[in-house]
């Protein structure tokens, strides 16, 4: 099966991601287009959406999965990214390596288990290596079992575990993946990527 992926510009992509997020009951704080815009503006980023036939109308193609990532700079001024840097300072050399932060993403329930997230991740990896990034970093929580399993299948290694003493499900997990030509050679999905306005 070939995956159809759309790569978006910031303006339209932010609106599309805001729309997608409403389908995820797992997300407590759904991102708005304004927040996405604020985070990504002036920063190298990649907004990808996977399309697939609608369940009730197979002739009609709709957005079913998304993945948004951005560069992590050696010196961040945005408070959430400063916080991220401080938390990872003891295990990630942000000054020496170019880091691409895989910020948000997911697949709508009805389309899970069809390889959409693998396809988006492989596309992000290919793009990031082409744009001279050394590694991907991602954050999740202990309680997100599907995401943890998926990142395991996608060969992300654990960087750090941050225990939440009140609720272990809320403990944070940071994972990473070094980008090499070999990683790209091992990719398994067929993808067609089109650029949206
Ligand atoms: C996690 C999630 C993105 C997976 O999306 P998906 O499109 O179903 O994933 P894919 O079909 O591309 O699967 C990728 C790999 O992960 C594995 N995988 C996916 N979901 C899994 C699960 N629930 N349990 C075990 N393995 C799983 C697949 O078997 C596949 O491995 P393979 O390619 O080696 O066969 C999706 O379940 C989701 O959006 N969940 C909610 C989002 C979420 O919890 N976010 C938390 C904030 S970080």
pLDDT of 141 over the 90 cut? yes
The β-bridge partners of 25 are none
Confidence tier at 41 by pLDDT (50, 70, 90): very high
Confidence tier at 46 by pLDDT (50, 70, 90): very high
183-195 tens-digit pLDDT:
999 999 999 999 9
pTM of the model: 0.97
State the total domains in the chain: 1
Choose the weakest-confidence range: 20-34, 36-50, 69-83, 147-161.
Answer: 20-34
- Please choose from 17, 112, 173 the residue to mutate so as to test ligand 1's pocket, defined by most ligand atoms within 8 A of CB: 112
Q: Rounded mean pLDDT of 139-145?
A: 97
Q: Packing angle between helix 10-21 and helix 33-40, nearest 10 degrees?
A: 140
Task: Calculate the average pLDDT of the chain.
Answer: 96
Q: What are the pocket residues of ligand 1 if the criterion is a CB atom closer than 6 Å to any ligand atom? A: 26, 65, 106-107, 112-118, 140, 144, 146-147, 149-150, 153
Q: Which contacts of 179-184 are long-range, i.e. CB under 8 A and separated by 24 or more positions? A: 179/125, 179/128, 179/129, 179/133, 179/134, 179/135, 179/136, 180/129, 181/129, 183/125, 183/129, 183/155, 184/125, 184/126, 184/129
> Which residues constitute the domain of residue 109?
2-195
pLDDT the model gives residue 29 = 86
DSSP H or E stretch at residue 192: strand 190-195
145-158 tens-digit pLDDT:
999 999 999 999 99
CATH number, position 110 = 3.40.630.30
- Give residue 43 CA to ligand 1 midpoint distance, Å: 28
pLDDT the model gives residue 28 = 80
- Give residue 96 CA to ligand 1 midpoint distance, Å: 31
Closest-lying ligand 1 atom to the alpha carbon of residue 138: 48
pLDDT the model gives residue 47 = 98
pLDDT of 197 over the 80 cut? no
pLDDT the model gives residue 1 = 84
Q: Rounded mean pLDDT of 92-119?
A: 96
For ligand 1, atom 8, the nearest C-alpha belongs to: 112
For ligand 1, atom 34, the nearest C-alpha belongs to: 153
- Please choose from 21, 52, 113, 138 the residue to mutate so as to test ligand 1's pocket, defined by most ligand atoms within 8 A of CB: 113
pLDDT the model gives residue 26 = 82
Confidence tier at 25 by pLDDT (50, 70, 90): confident
């Amino acid at each position: 099966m070939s995956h159809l992926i759309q790569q978006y510009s910031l303006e339209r992509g932010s609106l599309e991601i805001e729309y997608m997020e409403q389908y995820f009951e797992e997300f407590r704080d759904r991102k708005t287009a304004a927040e996405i815009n604020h985070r990504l503006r002036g920063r190298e980023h990649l907004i990808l959406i996977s399309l697939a036939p609608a369940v009730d109308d197979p002739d009609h193609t709709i957005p079913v999965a998304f993945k948004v990532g951005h560069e992590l700079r050696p010196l961040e001024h945005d408070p959430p990214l400063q916080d991220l840097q401080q938390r990872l300072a003891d295990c990630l050399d942000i000054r020496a390596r170019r880091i691409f932060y895989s910020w948000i993403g997911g697949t709508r329930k009805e389309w899970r288990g069809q390889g959409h997230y693998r396809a988006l991740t492989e596309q992000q990896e290919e793009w990031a290596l082409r744009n001279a990034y050394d590694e991907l970093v991602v954050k999740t929580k202990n309680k997100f079992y599907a995401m943890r399993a998926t990142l395991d299948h996608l060969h992300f290694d654990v960087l750090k575990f941050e225990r939440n003493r009140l609720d272990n499900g809320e403990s944070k997990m940071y994972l990473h993946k070094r980008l090499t030509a070999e990683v790209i050679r091992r990719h398994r999905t067929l993808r067609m990527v089109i650029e949206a306005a």
